[in-house]
Amino acid sequence: MYNILTLNSISEVGLNKLEPEKFAVSGEMANPDGIILRSYEMKDMELPEKLAGVARAGAGTNNIPIDKCSEKGIVVFNTPGANANAVKELVLTGIFLSSRKIVAGIEWAKELKGKENVDKLVEKGKGQFTGPEIKGKKLGVIGLGAIGVLVANAAVALGMEVYGYDPYLSVDAAWNLSSDVIKAASMEALVAECDYITIHVPLNDNTRGMYNKELFAATKKGTRLLNFARGGLVDTEALKTALADGTITEYITDFPDGEVIELENVICIPHLGASTPESEDNCAEMAAIELKQYLEYGIIKNSVNFPNCDAPYTGKARIALLHKNVSGMVGAITNILSADALNIDNMVNKSKGAWAYTLIDLDTFGGKADKLVEELGKIEGICRVRIVQEA
Ligand SMILES: NC(=O)c1ccc[n+]([C@@H]2O[C@H](COP(=O)([O-])OP(=O)(O)OC[C@H]3O[C@@H](n4cnc5c(N)ncnc54)[C@H](O)[C@@H]3O)[C@@H](O)[C@H]2O)c1
């Protein structure tokens, strides 16, 4: 029986993936094997002794003490792409909002409340809210990951001519991307060509302020810019100039701040990108499955600190070792196994940055499982040894 502690309320759709005969799930649990959470701040929490995995239902993991978890051999998971459809739908909404002056029109219509002949006033005043159709227009998508690919494909289906830019495009994304999406030679070439631009890259030291003065200078006049990724990707001072000189006619953002909310021709959405019940269900389901697969079989998928490891379980004795990514580790491990006359049926060794994971299937533990945990645990650089399946 595995004990799972939930630190936030987690959708039933996810928790239902944890069979009650194998998993005890509760919001209060003294020494859990696993934790599922959303935004609960774990940084000041003492990590329970038995804790083997932490699954974040969502993408951001800055509420989790990743380094501390790595040192203790605790695998931290997140759920990339689980909210991609929710964001895609809001981006499509944003494209229409940026075109058709819908928000301004609705605001104006509210002012007609209580007036006489509203229908006549509507017909008389509607001309000021004309806006172009998107069919046949050019959309540039910067960042073709889980969200960018869905946006690009949907825009193709809506009749737009879509350009994409992503120098680190993954093989999976390439498989999923419509062949109608045109590859832009550079970000500058993309912004010079397109009528609408949407950003879908993560915010990090390389991308902070990426839409800067130079990129706005390369941007086609009258562009509509959408930012459903992170506020910090667009340089606010440069944006102000671009709005003032007509480079950008409309900026749609899911990340308003005190400065941006004051600007003209900006539509501010209060970070609603992933705010759908389906997205919460998807995140919870993915988090629960990741944790379950790891606890039961040692399989790692979507970890932010340890490498992915998908070794199907074939019914043997399985042991998992979480360790530093240093030379000589595999030799040190196999020496101990051979000294105990234990035969390796299968072994996977993978690394991710400073950390590594070794998953070993043995014909049998030969009654030496506890001794093995003790001996392997003494190897310099090993953070945790876990008997996954006794077989
Ligand atoms: N509005 C919201 O509520 C909401 C919800 C989810 C995610 N997001 C944001 O959207 C971002 C994208 O999410 P995702 O799930 O598509 O992530 P993802 O990791 O699947 O995709 C990101 C893509 O950006 C690309 N990339 C990285 N640096 C780049 C660069 N300099 N130029 C061009 N491409 C670059 C990567 O190669 C990758 O393909 C997230 O990082 C997050 O900040 C916002």
Q: What is the pLDDT of residues 173-183, one digit of tens each?
A: 999 999 999 99
Q: Is 147 in the pocket of ligand 1 (CB under 6 A)?
A: yes
* Contact present, 222 and 191 (Cβ < 8 Å): no
Burial pattern 277-291, b for ≥16 Cβ within 10 A else e, equals eebbbbbbbbbbbbb
Both tokens of residue 289?
């499955």
pLDDT value at position 66? 96
pLDDT value at position 59? 83
Mean pLDDT over each residue of the chain, to the nearest integer: 96
Q: What is the mean pLDDT of residues 345-374?
A: 95
Q: How far apart are CA 169 and CA 167, in angstroms?
A: 6
Q: Is 80 in the pocket of ligand 1 (CB under 6 A)?
A: yes
pLDDT tens readout for residues 207-224: 999 999 999 999 999 999
230 flagged as catalytic: yes
Q: Is 317 in the pocket of ligand 1 (CB under 6 A)?
A: no
pLDDT value at position 391? 77
pLDDT tens readout for residues 80-129: 999 999 999 999 999 999 999 999 999 999 999 999 999 999 999 999 99
Percent with pLDDT over 90 in the chain = 95
How many Å lie between the centroid of ligand 1 and the Cα of residue 168?
11
Q: Is 143 in the pocket of ligand 1 (CB under 6 A)?
A: yes
How many Å lie between the centroid of ligand 1 and the Cα of residue 81?
9
Q: Is 164 in the pocket of ligand 1 (CB under 6 A)?
A: no
The lowest-confidence range among 68-72, 142-146, 164-168, 366-370 is: 366-370
Q: Is the pLDDT of residue 155 over 90?
A: yes
What's the angle, vertex CA 330, arms to CA 329 and CA 336, rounded to 5? Answer: 95
* Contact present, 219 and 192 (Cβ < 8 Å): yes
Which residue's CA is the nearest one to ligand 1's atom 18? 145
pLDDT value at position 316? 92
pLDDT value at position 62? 83
Q: Is 142 in the pocket of ligand 1 (CB under 6 A)?
A: yes
How many Å lie between the centroid of ligand 1 and the Cα of residue 45?
29
Residue with the bigger pLDDT between 55 and 39: it is 55
Residue of 12, 133, 208, 271 marked catalytic: 271
Q: Which position has the token pair 């003790």?
A: 374
Both tokens of residue 350?
């993978």
Q: How far apart are CA 352 and CA 265, in angstroms?
A: 44
The pTM is what? 0.85
pLDDT value at position 73? 97
Q: What is the mean pLDDT of residues 48-56?
A: 97
323 flagged as catalytic: no
